[in-house]
Structure 1
Protein backbone atom coordinates (compact mmCIF):
# COMPACT_ATOMS: atom_id res chain seq x y z
CA UNK A 1 0.00 0.00 0.00
CA UNK A 2 1.31 3.44 -0.88
CA UNK A 3 1.71 6.00 1.89
CA UNK A 4 -1.49 8.13 2.03
CA UNK A 5 -1.34 11.92 2.16
CA UNK A 6 -3.14 12.67 5.44
CA UNK A 7 -3.75 16.37 4.78
CA UNK A 8 -7.37 16.92 5.85
CA UNK A 9 -8.32 17.42 9.49
CA UNK A 10 -11.62 15.73 10.33
CA UNK A 11 -13.61 15.30 13.53
CA UNK A 12 -14.71 11.78 14.46
CA UNK A 13 -18.20 11.87 15.98
CA UNK A 14 -20.43 9.28 17.63
CA UNK A 15 -24.19 9.48 18.15
CA UNK A 16 -25.64 9.53 21.67
CA UNK A 17 -29.26 9.19 22.68
CA UNK A 18 -30.55 11.24 25.59
CA UNK A 19 -33.96 11.01 27.21
CA UNK A 20 -36.34 13.77 26.19
CA UNK A 21 -38.35 13.44 29.42
CA UNK A 22 -41.46 12.24 27.60
CA UNK A 23 -40.54 8.60 27.06
CA UNK A 24 -38.55 9.19 23.88
CA UNK A 25 -35.05 10.29 23.11
CA UNK A 26 -33.09 12.96 21.30
CA UNK A 27 -30.05 12.06 19.21
CA UNK A 28 -26.98 14.26 19.30
CA UNK A 29 -23.45 13.90 18.00
CA UNK A 30 -20.42 14.00 20.31
CA UNK A 31 -16.89 14.70 19.08
CA UNK A 32 -14.45 11.91 19.97
CA UNK A 33 -11.34 13.58 18.58
CA UNK A 34 -9.63 14.87 15.48
CA UNK A 35 -8.08 12.67 12.82
CA UNK A 36 -5.93 13.52 9.83
CA UNK A 37 -7.25 11.88 6.69
CA UNK A 38 -6.90 11.38 2.97
CA UNK A 39 -10.25 11.55 1.16
CA UNK A 40 -10.73 10.04 -2.28
CA UNK A 41 -13.97 9.83 -4.27
CA UNK A 42 -15.22 6.36 -5.25
CA UNK A 43 -18.57 6.89 -6.96
CA UNK A 44 -21.52 9.22 -7.00
CA UNK A 45 -25.17 9.43 -7.96
CA UNK A 46 -28.11 11.76 -7.83
CA UNK A 47 -31.70 10.94 -6.94
CA UNK A 48 -34.89 12.62 -5.89
CA UNK A 49 -35.93 12.22 -2.27
CA UNK A 50 -39.24 13.79 -1.26
CA UNK A 51 -39.16 16.31 -4.15
CA UNK A 52 -35.57 17.29 -3.32
CA UNK A 53 -32.61 16.27 -5.45
CA UNK A 54 -29.91 14.56 -3.39
CA UNK A 55 -26.35 14.09 -4.56
CA UNK A 56 -24.74 11.03 -2.98
CA UNK A 57 -20.96 10.63 -3.00
CA UNK A 58 -19.24 7.46 -1.83
CA UNK A 59 -15.77 8.17 -0.49
CA UNK A 60 -12.70 6.27 0.65
CA UNK A 61 -11.28 7.96 3.76
CA UNK A 62 -7.88 6.76 4.98
CA UNK A 63 -6.77 7.53 8.57
CA UNK A 64 -4.04 6.32 10.92
CA UNK A 65 -4.94 3.11 12.70
CA UNK A 66 -5.82 3.02 16.38
CA UNK A 67 -6.13 -0.06 18.61
CA UNK A 68 -9.44 -1.92 18.70
CA UNK A 69 -11.53 -0.42 21.50
CA UNK A 70 -9.89 3.01 21.29
CA UNK A 71 -12.24 5.98 21.03
CA UNK A 72 -10.02 7.23 18.18
CA UNK A 73 -10.72 4.15 16.04
CA UNK A 74 -13.59 4.82 13.60
CA UNK A 75 -16.54 2.41 13.50
CA UNK A 76 -19.50 1.91 11.19
CA UNK A 77 -22.38 4.11 12.36
CA UNK A 78 -20.12 6.98 13.37
CA UNK A 79 -19.34 9.95 11.15
CA UNK A 80 -16.48 12.21 10.13
CA UNK A 81 -17.08 15.94 9.92
CA UNK A 82 -15.01 18.46 7.98
CA UNK A 83 -16.50 21.88 8.60
CA UNK A 84 -20.09 21.67 7.31
CA UNK A 85 -19.42 18.45 5.38
CA UNK A 86 -20.61 15.18 6.95
CA UNK A 87 -19.31 11.74 5.96
CA UNK A 88 -21.33 8.79 7.39
CA UNK A 89 -19.07 5.79 7.99
CA UNK A 90 -20.51 2.65 6.41
CA UNK A 91 -17.60 0.23 6.98
CA UNK A 92 -14.03 0.21 8.29
CA UNK A 93 -11.25 -2.11 7.17
CA UNK A 94 -7.50 -2.59 7.44
CA UNK A 95 -5.98 -2.42 3.94
CA UNK A 96 -2.97 -4.64 4.71
CA UNK A 97 -1.24 -6.60 7.45
CA UNK A 98 0.97 -3.72 8.64
CA UNK A 99 -1.94 -2.24 10.62
CA UNK A 100 -0.75 1.34 10.13
CA UNK A 101 -3.87 2.68 8.43
CA UNK A 102 -7.62 2.16 8.33
CA UNK A 103 -9.88 2.70 5.35
CA UNK A 104 -13.34 4.05 6.08
CA UNK A 105 -15.94 3.60 3.36
CA UNK A 106 -18.11 6.67 3.86
CA UNK A 107 -21.04 8.45 2.21
CA UNK A 108 -21.70 12.15 1.89
CA UNK A 109 -25.20 13.29 0.94
CA UNK A 110 -25.85 16.84 -0.19
CA UNK A 111 -29.10 18.49 -1.32
CA UNK A 112 -28.68 19.24 -5.02
Structure 2
Protein backbone atom coordinates (compact mmCIF):
# COMPACT_ATOMS: atom_id res chain seq x y z
CA UNK A 1 0.00 0.00 0.00
CA UNK A 2 2.86 2.38 0.74
CA UNK A 3 4.34 1.79 -2.75
CA UNK A 4 1.00 2.69 -4.29
CA UNK A 5 0.74 5.78 -2.06
CA UNK A 6 4.01 7.07 -3.52
CA UNK A 7 2.31 7.17 -6.94
CA UNK A 8 -0.87 8.79 -5.70
CA UNK A 9 -4.12 8.39 -3.74
CA UNK A 10 -6.12 6.93 -6.65
CA UNK A 11 -3.52 4.23 -7.21
CA UNK A 12 -3.60 3.40 -3.50
CA UNK A 13 -7.39 3.16 -3.68
CA UNK A 14 -7.13 0.85 -6.71
CA UNK A 15 -4.69 -1.45 -4.91
CA UNK A 16 -6.95 -1.46 -1.83
CA UNK A 17 -9.92 -2.47 -4.03
CA UNK A 18 -7.93 -5.31 -5.56
CA UNK A 19 -6.76 -6.55 -2.15
CA UNK A 20 -10.35 -6.49 -0.88
CA UNK A 21 -11.71 -8.29 -3.93
CA UNK A 22 -10.71 -11.76 -2.70
CA UNK A 23 -11.32 -13.57 0.55
CA UNK A 24 -7.59 -14.09 0.95
CA UNK A 25 -5.50 -11.02 0.02
CA UNK A 26 -2.52 -13.27 -0.78
CA UNK A 27 -4.36 -14.26 -3.96
CA UNK A 28 -4.13 -10.70 -5.25
CA UNK A 29 -0.44 -9.99 -4.61
CA UNK A 30 0.69 -10.84 -8.15
CA UNK A 31 -1.91 -8.54 -9.65
CA UNK A 32 -0.90 -5.69 -7.33
CA UNK A 33 2.80 -6.17 -8.02
CA UNK A 34 2.10 -6.21 -11.77
CA UNK A 35 0.24 -2.92 -11.52
CA UNK A 36 3.04 -1.32 -9.52
CA UNK A 37 5.60 -2.60 -12.02
CA UNK A 38 3.60 -1.13 -14.91
CA UNK A 39 3.30 2.16 -13.05
CA UNK A 40 7.07 2.51 -12.93
CA UNK A 41 7.15 2.80 -16.74
CA UNK A 42 4.69 5.73 -16.96
CA UNK A 43 4.41 9.21 -15.42
CA UNK A 44 2.44 9.30 -12.17
CA UNK A 45 -0.21 11.62 -13.67
CA UNK A 46 -1.05 9.03 -16.33
CA UNK A 47 -1.13 6.22 -13.76
CA UNK A 48 -3.42 8.26 -11.51
CA UNK A 49 -5.80 8.97 -14.41
CA UNK A 50 -5.87 5.29 -15.35
CA UNK A 51 -6.45 4.30 -11.72
CA UNK A 52 -9.35 6.73 -11.45
CA UNK A 53 -10.94 5.38 -14.61
CA UNK A 54 -10.50 1.76 -13.47
CA UNK A 55 -12.13 2.56 -10.13
CA UNK A 56 -14.99 4.47 -11.79
CA UNK A 57 -15.68 1.61 -14.19
CA UNK A 58 -15.32 -1.04 -11.50
CA UNK A 59 -12.66 -2.91 -13.47
CA UNK A 60 -10.03 -3.29 -10.78
CA UNK A 61 -7.92 -6.00 -12.40
CA UNK A 62 -4.43 -6.05 -13.84
CA UNK A 63 -5.65 -6.85 -17.35
CA UNK A 64 -8.07 -3.95 -17.65
CA UNK A 65 -5.79 -1.54 -15.82
CA UNK A 66 -2.99 -2.23 -18.30
CA UNK A 67 -5.34 -1.59 -21.23
CA UNK A 68 -6.60 1.67 -19.70
CA UNK A 69 -3.05 2.74 -18.86
CA UNK A 70 -1.83 2.22 -22.44
CA UNK A 71 -4.79 4.19 -23.79
CA UNK A 72 -4.17 7.06 -21.37
CA UNK A 73 -0.46 7.09 -22.20
CA UNK A 74 -1.18 7.35 -25.94
CA UNK A 75 -3.55 10.27 -25.38
CA UNK A 76 -1.13 12.02 -23.04
CA UNK A 77 1.81 12.07 -25.43
CA UNK A 78 0.82 12.66 -29.06
CA UNK A 79 3.60 11.98 -31.49
CA UNK A 80 4.74 14.95 -33.53
CA UNK A 81 6.13 14.30 -36.99
CA UNK A 82 9.55 15.74 -37.52
CA UNK A 83 10.64 17.20 -40.82
CA UNK A 84 14.21 16.28 -41.50
CA UNK A 85 16.16 18.83 -43.49
CA UNK A 86 18.60 17.37 -45.96
CA UNK A 87 20.89 19.21 -48.36
CA UNK A 88 20.93 16.26 -50.75
CA UNK A 89 17.38 16.72 -52.04
CA UNK A 90 16.51 17.46 -55.65
CA UNK A 91 14.24 20.36 -56.31
CA UNK A 92 11.60 21.01 -58.97
CA UNK A 93 14.27 22.29 -61.40
CA UNK A 94 15.70 18.78 -61.70
CA UNK A 95 12.49 17.46 -63.25
CA UNK A 96 11.66 20.50 -65.40
CA UNK A 97 11.76 19.90 -69.13
CA UNK A 98 10.88 16.21 -69.12
CA UNK A 99 14.31 14.80 -68.43
CA UNK A 100 17.09 13.56 -70.70
CA UNK A 101 15.16 11.54 -73.29
CA UNK A 102 11.93 13.55 -73.43
| TM-score of the superposed pair, with normalisation by structure 2 | 0.20
Relative to total residues, which structure has the larger helix share, 1 or 2? 2
| TM-score of the superposed pair, with normalisation by structure 1 | 0.19
Relative to total residues, which structure has the larger strand share, 1 or 2? 1
